C-alpha cells in the first residue's frame, strides 16, 4: 500500500525497470516485509525512461508483494551521463558508457 500522501505519484510497476549493473546488494525480503507492514512511505527515483536510479530493492519488493503501482519521482539525466544514484553515500556511476578518449 502506498502512503496516501504519495498516491499522486503512483505509477504502474510494469513501466519501470532496474538500473542495469546496479552495484547495490540488499535484502529484498526485508524490504518486502517492511512494505507489507508499513506501506511505501517514500518514493523511488527513476529517469524519464523508467530506469530506477534509487529504490531498486523497493521496486523488487513491491513486485514480490504483487503490487501493481509504486510511487515514483522522475528526474532528468544530467549532461555528464552520471547519476547521483547514491548521493547520500557519495557513490555515483555512469548510466551509459562514454565513447572515445579525450
Calculate mean pLDDT across residues 8-15. 97
Q: Is the predicted pLDDT of residue 85 greater than 60, yes or no?
A: no
CB-based contact 62:40 (threshold 8 Å) = yes
Residue 102 pLDDT level (bands cut at 50, 70, 90)? very low
Torsion 55-56-61-64 (CA) sign: positive
Query: pLDDT, tens digit, for every residue of 17-35?
Result: 998 887 778 899 999 999 9
Q: Is the predicted pLDDT of residue 42 greater than 50, yes or no?
A: yes
Write down the pTM of the prediction: 0.76
* Cell numbers linked to 96: 551509459
* The predicted structure's pLDDT at residue 3: 93
Pairing relation of β-strands 69-75 and 44-47? parallel
| Structural domains of the chain in order of their starting residue, each with its CATH number | 4-77 (3.90.1530.10)
Give the CA distances from residue 23 to residues 41, 91, 92, in Å, rounded to whole numbers and listed in that order.
Answer: 24, 10, 10
Amino acid at each position: 500500500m502506498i502512503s496516501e500522501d504519495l498516491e499522486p505519484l503512483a505509477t504502474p510497476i510494469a513501466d519501470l525497470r532496474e538500473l542495469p549493473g546496479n552495484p547495490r546488494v540488499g535484502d529484498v525480503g526485508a524490504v518486502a516485509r517492511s512494505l507489507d507492514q508499513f506501506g511505501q512511505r517514500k518514493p523511488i527515483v527513476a529517469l524519464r525512461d523508467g530506469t530506477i536510479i534509487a529504490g531498486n530493492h523497493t521496486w523488487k519488493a513491491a513486485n514480490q508483494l504483487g503490487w501493481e503501482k509504486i510511487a515514483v519521482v522522475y528526474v532528468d539525466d544530467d549532461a555528464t551521463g552520471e547519476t547521483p544514484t547514491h548521493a547520500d553515500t557519495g557513490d555515483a556511476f555512469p548510466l551509459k558508457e562514454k565513447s572515445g578518449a579525450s
